[in-house]
A and B are shown apart, each in its own frame.
Chain A
Amino acid sequence: MIPAAFEYYRPKDMAGVLSVLEEHGDDARVVAGGHSLIPMMKLRMAEVPHLIDLQDVAGLTGISIDAGRVRIGAMTTQHEIINHAGLSDVAPIMREASLQIADPQVRYMGTVGGNVANGDPGNDMPGLMQCLDATFILVGPDGERSVAARDFYEAAYMTDRADDEVLTAVEFAASKGGYAYEKQKRKIGDYATAAAAVLITKDGGTCASASIAMTNLSDTPVYSVDAGAALVGTSLDEASMKAAVDAMLGDIDPTEDNRGPIEFKRHAASVILRRAIENAWDRA
């Protein structure tokens, strides 16, 4: 497995990145940790004549928490997320989900930016970001813009990001209440058969808010508005649980692969979601 040759760039600033992107259009790709892109290049399933390494670009790393708002630089790794105590306090779901991504070595290299920007339906962060109602910061030739994670994904590997834009950070509000990231997979290193991200707040014994997103059950992550809505105002009785699960099932569109046929995936999705809701509820 040998990749095709490419030109390599390691700019020191974003201007340098953008100028290469501008010059080469979709012949150019940025690389962060590379653990999605490089295997694709080695299998010669991704052709990247111009590869722009972001590792020296200033300002893309780090986690800041300010007045209940979290900002994570695109080049922040899953390993850093797992070990950031402050982040675990304000958004513990980030750590819980990150621990379920790939394996230790991959988490040292795998970044938030790469995971969310790649548009691979198997990645865990996109659904998580939708659950958190995160905002993605994109920088392009016309400057900076932000887009909601819930509006970002169009199809497999197709996102709202233009070819000449770079995703530089994700931002979201500190999450209150209960959380859970449940993932069924065949083994360490596998993508999800089904995964669910759930955030719930409680008002006494009643669900005050609920946010639900699913991973690897469509060609994009699935933020299920209706599934969350089905829980709000209830005490999570069986009827509301069932309503939430049914709503989610109405939103996903899994395909058959080695993890199993569609029927199974839908069943697994419902089980995993139920468990995530129960878990989040207990923690709320």
Chain B
Amino acid sequence: MNKELTREERTDALGGMGCKRKRVEDARFTQGKGNYVDDIKLPGMLQGDFVRSPYAHARIKSIDSSAAMALDGVIAVLTAEDLAPLGLHWMPTLAGDKQMVLADGKVLFQGQEVAFVVAKDRYIAADAVELVEVDYEELPVLTDPFAAMESDVVLREDLLGEGGSLPDGAHGPRKHPNHIFTWEVGEKDATEQVLDEADVVAEETVYYHRTHPCPLETCGCVASMDKVNGKLTLHGTFQAPHAIRTVVSLISGIEEHNIRVISPDIGGGFGNKVGAYPGYVCSVVASIVTGVPVKWVEDRMENLMTTAFARDYHMTGKISATKEGKITGLHCHVTADHGGFDACADPTKFPAGFMNICTGSYDIPTAYLAVDGVYTNKAPGGVSYRCSFRVTEAAYFIERMVEVLAIELNMDAAELRRINFIKKEQFPYQSALGWEYDSGDYHTAWDKALKAVDYDGLRAEQAQRVEDFKAGKTRKLMGVGLTHFTEIVGAGPVKNCDILGLGMFDSCEIRIHPTGSAIARLGTISQGQGHATTFAQILATEIGLPADSITIEEGDTDTAPYGLGTYGSRSTPVAGAATAMAGRKIRAKAQMIAAYLLEVHDDDVEFDVDRFVVKGAPEKFKTMKEIAFAAYNQAIPGIEPGLEAVSYYDPPNMTYPFGAYVCVMDIDVDTGVTDIRRFYALDDCGTRINPMIIEGQVHGGLTEALAVALGQEIAYDDMGNVKTGTLMDFFLPTAWEVPNYETDHTVTPSPHHPIGAKGVGESPHVGGVPCFSNAVNDAFRAFGLRHTNMPHDHWRIWKTANDLGLHG
């Protein structure tokens, strides 16, 4: 007989919540045995490839595909004309707009899909693309949203009413043919009054440039129509496989039970793989037409130019305060450049996402936000790149405005934050722009962060550096970047969160096997977050079976319960909650079984790590393993056999992770080259499921933040040509450009989440971007700079220094 394990040893043996469990995914990935979409090769599979527009705005006069069709191995060349009879030449976007699948008479951005070539292999397809002749008539190009709102050039004639009238859009009245919506939150008049009467008002225009999530794996799919059984299987890079199934069903007319959507391993998503793209629709149509599987995988240029940009928010803010620095009001207007179609991925009722979290971590009594969405000749998208819906924009805005206010008040920016934080005792806190912050302890986090970096020491060093610079002893300045961010993640409560009418709950279904192992399936899909590892940890703790005995499966709509997928840091807050709740249902039944087996009343047994024990008699127990066997194999009066549970979790509220970050940066004033000397990141994501994975998420999110802040952008010239179409120009940092990060944490559990977890994947990006940017701005504060826009690449930093007269 084995020695009886202690309670601690039994807990450790489970590998449950809180331990640094090694990832179960890694065995296949480290051996090159991942299964990504481009690894899928089905018998007879054809390859699709797009003819794309070289122009940003043009009318299509004709398309001649005869030479392409004559090429040996070319099966079909689809155009809008071919899709029109099926009603598939346009498709609905996630934002309530519609988007051309293939150019219907005109193109609205460079790289827009014009024709879809289907050929025997990707080489023939590429050759055929070159042979399709398209006759374009160039039209005036609008790349600036402000100019677009003034222009006579109408980008979307399809949205005009009779006689050129302007019918309402999906989000209400439109002011101009190139206008999409106005979204207002808060009290306009009251805010203006507060601003008018304030001691101090700081005003600034902050542009958050257009960028792109750019996961290392591009988007793609394999559509396979089985005409014999009438069943469509669609493998693809989908962050929301169930939503894709529903959308495909709605637009194709194929019943949902005849569609199987599978997200295989996904090589990073970061928001890029939330939307539905023309490539998916064309592949499905091509497979239906040809009766064989069709693969489409975009190349990197196509990825950067066409599928899902992020940001592009022009934000004008006014923030008011008393002389002592107590913030009294915030006013924000955003001009949002949405490109040629409104394909933002936001919950339906939130056309600017959760931009109304822009009061940040501060107790701001009065606020007003208005967002105007505008069409331009740029690619559609507006996805949440490693953040919840538009939360990076909001965090960047408020964290810049606070810095600008500190300058206006001639105050230390850390102190200004401290006196304005929402206090611990104010939670749950009702924000002026409509959110109920569930929990937080900002002062504790802030003080811990400032102490860790010796904030006063840094400021003293910085002051000395400024003196040395002025004395000609150095050409390097030092910036101290501060950020305290509050995120809003875990969308979301079905009462106000849906996408295309699909409620944003999530789900988990658990099946315990007789010998005490289990499989759990979820409506989410990992793209590197390690769900197979962490969700098993939640279950291990909840149901008392070892994490190593629990398989987690996601991404196959034929087997997984319905869910809205993985983005916006919603997996842990929503599906993680569903997992815990389903686990508790398992445990409830197990309790009855245990009581029966132990011959006591249900109420006389209690759960203890991996077993139920008789209260007051811990030597009398049944392990979960024993209970699982009994559940299937012992006739128990009044209890049906089996041990399974399912939970659909509709969260009562969002969760509000927060963090305190400090960046210390040296800047070469003459070359604009930056050097990150130190980066300290304190995250509070509530209950911590796997500290190793949390730390990895923080490292990654910070690195993506570094990229965005210091150089990564999708830039256009005046003709609407994309200037940053390859990784030569689109900045993805290498190991050489990235520092080591210091990570830290506090723990403020979410009061409404079953295990108190809040989500962490996106926090470091949301907090990181303003922190890097604040460091750059802060370096020049002593020389009179109020604000300079990202990306802070070498030449822009140089220009800032030059404009301040620092080059002599």
Specify which chain A residues have a CB less than 8 angstroms from the CB of B673 in the assembled complex.
184
Cross-chain contact A258 with B127 (CB below 8 angstroms): no
Cross-chain contact A188 with B736 (CB below 8 angstroms): yes
Cross-chain contact B301 with A1 (CB below 8 angstroms): yes
A4 to B, closest residue via Cβ: B127
Assuming the A-B contacts A189-B734, A271-B670, are A2 and B122 also in contact, with contact meaning beta carbons closer than 8 angstroms in the complex? yes
Assuming the A-B contacts A184-B673, A186-B793, A188-B737, are A260 and B724 also in contact, with contact meaning beta carbons closer than 8 angstroms in the complex? no
Specify which chain A residues have a CB less than 8 angstroms from the CB of B513 in the assembled complex.
none
Not counting A4-B130, A260-B794, a sample of 17 additional A-B residue pairs whose C-beta atoms are within 8 angstroms of each other reads: A1-B300, A1-B301, A2-B125, A4-B127, A44-B130, A187-B736, A188-B734, A189-B728, A191-B728, A258-B715, A258-B729, A259-B795, A260-B795, A261-B795, A267-B798, A268-B794, A268-B798
Q: Is A264 an interface residue (CB 8 A)?
A: yes
Size category of the binding interface on chain A: 20 to 34
Q: Is B807 an interface residue (CB 8 A)?
A: yes
Cross-chain contact B737 with A190 (CB below 8 angstroms): no
Q: Is A193 an interface residue (CB 8 A)?
A: yes
* Chain B interface SS verdict (over half): loop
Q: Is A162 an interface residue (CB 8 A)?
A: no
Query: Can you show 15 pairs from A to B with CB atoms below 8 A apart?
Result: A4-B130, A43-B301, A184-B673, A186-B711, A186-B794, A187-B711, A187-B731, A187-B736, A188-B736, A188-B737, A190-B728, A263-B802, A267-B802, A268-B794, A272-B671
Bound-state Cα–Cα, A267 to B808, Å: 12
Assuming the A-B contacts A2-B122, A184-B671, A189-B728, are A264 and B734 also in contact, with contact meaning beta carbons closer than 8 angstroms in the complex? no
CB distance from B128 to the nearest CB of A (A): 11
Q: Is B723 an interface residue (CB 8 A)?
A: yes
CB distance from B117 to the nearest CB of A (A): 12
Cross-chain contact B123 with A258 (CB below 8 angstroms): no
CB distance from B71 to the nearest CB of A (A): 11
Residue among B127, B670, B728, B798 making CB contact with A260, cutoff 8 Å: B798
Cross-chain contact A271 with B671 (CB below 8 angstroms): yes
Bound-state Cα–Cα, A264 to B798, Å: 7
Type the 1/0 row for B469-490, where 1 means its CB is closer than 8 Å to any CB of A: 0000000000000000000000
Specify which chain A residues have a CB less than 8 angstroms from the CB of B731 in the assembled complex.
186-187
Binding site for B on A (CB under 8 A): 1-2, 4-5, 43-44, 103, 184, 186-191, 193, 258-261, 263-264, 267-268, 271-272
Binding site for A on B (CB under 8 A): 122-123, 125-127, 130, 299-301, 670-673, 711, 715, 723-724, 727-729, 731, 733-734, 736-737, 793-795, 798-799, 802, 807
Specify which chain A residues have a CB less than 8 angstroms from the CB of B733 in the assembled complex.
187
Cross-chain contact B799 with A264 (CB below 8 angstroms): yes
Cross-chain contact A258 with B724 (CB below 8 angstroms): yes
Cross-chain contact B734 with A187 (CB below 8 angstroms): yes
B126 to A, closest residue via Cβ: A2
A270 to B, closest residue via Cβ: B670
Specify which chain B residues have a CB less than 8 angstroms from the CB of A189 in the assembled complex.
727-728, 734
Cross-chain contact A259 with B130 (CB below 8 angstroms): no
10 tightest Cβ-Cβ pairs between the two chains A and B: A260-B795, A2-B126, A264-B795, A271-B670, A188-B734, A258-B729, A188-B736, A1-B299, A264-B798, A2-B123
Specify which chain B residues have a CB less than 8 angstroms from the CB of A268 in the assembled complex.
671-672, 794, 798
CB distance from A269 to the nearest CB of B (A): 10
Specify which chain A residues have a CB less than 8 angstroms from the CB of B125 in the assembled complex.
2
B669 to A, closest residue via Cβ: A271
Specify which chain B residues have a CB less than 8 angstroms from the CB of A186 in the assembled complex.
711, 731, 793-794
Assuming the A-B contacts A187-B737, A188-B734, A267-B807, are A193 and B724 also in contact, with contact meaning beta carbons closer than 8 angstroms in the complex? no
Bound-state Cα–Cα, A188 to B734, Å: 7
Bound-state Cα–Cα, A247 to B798, Å: 22
Specify which chain A residues have a CB less than 8 angstroms from the CB of B670 in the assembled complex.
267, 271
CB distance from B638 to the nearest CB of A (A): 66
A274 to B, closest residue via Cβ: B670
Bound-state Cα–Cα, A188 to B798, Å: 20
Cross-chain contact A184 with B794 (CB below 8 angstroms): yes
Specify which chain A residues have a CB less than 8 angstroms from the CB of B794 in the assembled complex.
184, 186, 193, 259-260, 264, 268
CB distance from B805 to the nearest CB of A (A): 14
Bound-state Cα–Cα, A1 to B807, Å: 43
Cross-chain contact A103 with B734 (CB below 8 angstroms): yes
Specify which chain A residues have a CB less than 8 angstroms from the CB of B126 in the assembled complex.
2
Specify which chain A residues have a CB less than 8 angstroms from the CB of B127 in the assembled complex.
2, 4-5
A103, A186, A193, A261 interface centre (most CB from chain B within 10 Å)? A186
